[in-house]
Amino acid sequence: GTGSAAAVPINADFDIAYVTPVTLGTPPQTLQLDFDSGSSDLWVFSSHLPTSQIRGQQIYAPNKSSTAKLLDGHSWSITYGDGSGSRGNVYTDNVTVGGLTVGSQAIECAQQVSSSFTTEDHIDGLVGLGFSTLNTVSPKSQLTFFDNAKSNLDSPVFTADLKYKQAGTYDFGFIDEAKYTGEITYVPVNSDPGYWTFPSSGYAVGSGNFTASSISGIADTGTSLVYLPTAIVTAYYRQVQGATNSRSYGGYVFPCASTLPTFTFGVGAARFTIPAAYLNYAPVTPGSATCFGGLQSSSGVGINIWGDVALKAAFVVFNGGNPPTIGWAAK
Ligand SMILES: O=C(NNC1=NCCC1)c1ccc(Br)cc1
């Protein structure tokens, strides 16, 4: 089988995150979920949440689904790289994404969510697309939607075609040749950390020379920005008039009117250029003349992250075969 579903930016002005419609249970309950290759829990806003923590989100009510089953004695608790988090109990039920159905998928029902989830009213939960070793359900960890679907897929892959300020697509089970140009460059994935960890072959700032350098990082659809080693990031902002690394704003900021260079990264012999516009993430506060950069230092994270700012500059194949690989193509 295959599936195909839209990835819609949650904000009309800035690509903070993308949500995809997911149908749960019987009769169908449709929620807008954030597909996240940087984690491995499928969790939803639910009828088990205090109403004080719900602000317009859609909820999943397992007690209204005739196919829902409590996973007795199981719980989950997750904290994301940005400090947000949630926890709760677990049901299994049918889950459908873009025509692809998994029966008996673990649906982690939130009983508590952190304030940043409560205030983000366009995200009703997450679908983890990382490796199932990261799943937080206890005492028996659960499989991701992708792992559950894999054996029924025409090909054990999902692809991300994220776009700048417009809807893109997540496809499951097939590679749509209409979504990319040229060849797909595949590189090995180290799944031991539980992430889609792959080697980049180097970088260039604007029209400058390409610096060959092996950079290990993760492809993370759930992270908005790109986080790279300080040496690379300082080389980039040296080319931006008025840029500074702001302790108060927690990263590199610059005058919104500044001209930004592009940023090029390598995957094998292939080169992908992130347009300057993608690297002006957003004003630090609404209407401010100071803007926050889409490229930030990974020194605080410990791992380099190729988030949405980079992913939307390419067509990306997450190959869940044995061994796993990741493919990058121009579009
Ligand atoms: O949490 C992570 N990715 N997903 C999401 N971020 C925010 C909500 C969802 C993440 C994963 C790996 C590393 Br290293 C740092 C961060």
- In terms of Cα–Cα distance, which of 296, 299, 214, 213 is closest to 251? 296
> What number is the average pLDDT over the span 124-147?
98
State the catalytic residue, choosing from 124, 147, 161, 220.
Answer: 220
CA distances from 237 to 47, 149, 174, 262 (A): 46, 43, 39, 11
Say if residue 167 is in the same domain as residue 264: no
DSSP secondary structure letter of residue 279: G
Q: Say yes or no: 51 and 120 in one domain.
A: yes
Residues with CB under 6 A from ligand 1: 36, 38-39, 80-82, 84, 195, 218, 220, 222-223, 301, 303, 305
Active site residue 192: no
Q: What is the pLDDT of residues 27-40, one digit of tens each?
A: 999 999 999 999 99
For residues 155 and 204, state if they share a domain.
no
One-character DSSP codes across 36-99? ETT---EEE-BTTS-GGG-SS---B-GGG-TT-EEEEEEEEEEE-TTS-EEEEEEEEEEEEETT
- Judge whether 123 and 10 are in contact, CB under 8 Å: yes
Range of the domain at 106: 3-172
The CATH number that applies at residue 147 is 2.40.70.10
Range 274-286 average pLDDT: 97
Count of domains forming the chain: 2
In a shared domain, residues 199 and 295: yes
124 is catalytic: no
**Mean of pLDDT values over 148-155:** 98
Q: Whose CA is nearest to atom 15 of ligand 1?
A: 81
Per the residue annotation, which of 34, 36, 124, 171 is the catalytic one? 36
The arithmetic mean of pLDDT across residues 141-161, rounded, is 98
Among the candidates 148, 172, 196, a domain finishes at 172
Residue 167 contacts residue 9 (beta carbons within 8 Å): yes
* pLDDT 10s digits, 234-264: 999 999 999 999 999 999 999 999 999 999 9
> For a substitution probing ligand 1, which of 35, 37, 80 has the most ligand atoms within 8 Å of its CB?
80
